[in-house]
Amino acid sequence: MKSDSDINASEITDKRDYFNRRWFMKGAILAGTATATGLLYRSLNAPPPELPKGEKIATVQSVTSSAANSGFTVNEKLTSLEDITNYNNFYEFSTSKSSVATEAKGFVTRPWSVSVEGLVNKPAVFDLEELLRIEQEERVYRMRCVEGWSMVIPWVGFPLFKLLQRVEPLPAARYVAFQSFYDPKRMPNAFASGLDLPYVEGLRIDEALHPLAILATGLYGETLPPQDGAPIRLVVPWKYGFKGIKSIVKIKLVAEQPPTTWNIQAPNEYGFYSNVNPDVDHPRWSQATERRIGEYSRRKTLMFNGYAEQVAHLYEGMDLHRDF
């Protein structure tokens, strides 16, 4: 594990600089791009309109091309909605990927709120309506899961930093800890999950501020289905799937590296960073190739899931075999 004293000075010297200039500017430019497409359809109370059948891909690709210059989107064939919503990991509901959809079907996600707290000037509880109001962007990201498969998912969401900005993190905040909703009465597999629940995850502050990291509230232009983490979940496109904590209720800015569920579960198999890295094998399998859901032959796995240009600088000077 990387100790605090190992953190590169440039990563921590002036947190306000990150917030006020670099990341926010970049985010603002991206926000402008997405807004210009005129595809902002989410209004406060209404669910997003049903897209005409057969036009979904085109709509998503117009988002892709409009933001093409940003390099933050992928122009690859999308995984089908059917696969995205029927091949899931959400242990609170089921440990069988094909059963999560059925088990999570009646999961009620309104009312809902997310508390953003810890080392911040302005802790706040955001209700779902307010979070949807903050959601100003739509983007295509792909996500890869550690078990050796990947999907290209047209997420709808907003950059995490836009939420963090509102609570004004203090310079002492160096990590962000996330916690999922947990209620055994409403989650049928809670006691049989084999996990120490509630599910928790974490990011280093500079990772959390990267505009690629989003809070997703929908996919394929539709409200997020329960099995995919309704009503709001994390998507970190350059990391393995398990980083994408679902049904978030708490986000806490902290000074020390927070615990993460899969690292607690199997520390030799799952590290804190969980970056997609074809050069570092999982102890029980190679991570050099992956199966893209819907394809027959395996593909070569790309470093940082193909986002090396955008995120490699975050890990400069780190030994990614040690900090896996």
Ligand X SMILES: Nc1nc2c(c(=O)[nH]1)N[C@H]1C(S)=C(S)[C@@H](COP(=O)(O)O)O[C@H]1N2
Residue 246 in the binding site for ligand X (CB under 6 A): yes
Q: Are 237 and 142 in contact (CB under 8 A)?
A: yes
Does residue 274 bind ligand X (CB under 6 A)?
Answer: no
Rounded to a whole number of angstroms, the minimum distance from the CB of residue 95 to ligand X is 8
* Binder among 64, 66, 79, 89 for Mo ion (CB under 5 A): 89
d(CA 60, CA 6): 41
**What does DSSP say about strands 149-153 and 141-145: parallel, antiparallel, or unpaired?**
antiparallel
CB of 176 to ligand X, least distance (A): 16
Give me the 256-295 binding string for Mo ion, x by CB under 5 A, dash otherwise: ----------------------------------------
Which residues in 239-258 contact Mo ion (CB under 5 A)? 241-242
Whether residue 248 contacts residue 178, with contact meaning beta carbons closer than 8 Å, is answered with yes
34 near Mo ion, rule: CB under 5 A: no
User: One symbol per residue from 204 to 243: x for binding ligand X (CB under 6 A), - otherwise; what is it?
Assistant: ------------------------xx-----------xx-
Q: Which stretch binds Mo ion (CB under 5 A): 25-33, 118-126, 132-140, 236-244?
A: 236-244
Distance CA 129, CA 117 (A): 19
| CB closest to ligand X, residue no | 241
What backbone phi and psi angles, to 5 degrees, belong to 137? -135, 155
Sequential DSSP letters for 268-296: TT--SS-B--TTS-BTTB--SEEEETT-S
Tokens 């059948």, located at residue: 53
Instruction: Measure the CA–CA gap between 121 and 135, rounded to whole angstroms.
Output: 22
State the residues that interact with Mo ion by CB under 5 A.
Answer: 89, 145-146, 241-242
State the residues that interact with ligand X by CB under 6 A.
Answer: 88-92, 145, 180, 199, 228-229, 241-242, 244-247
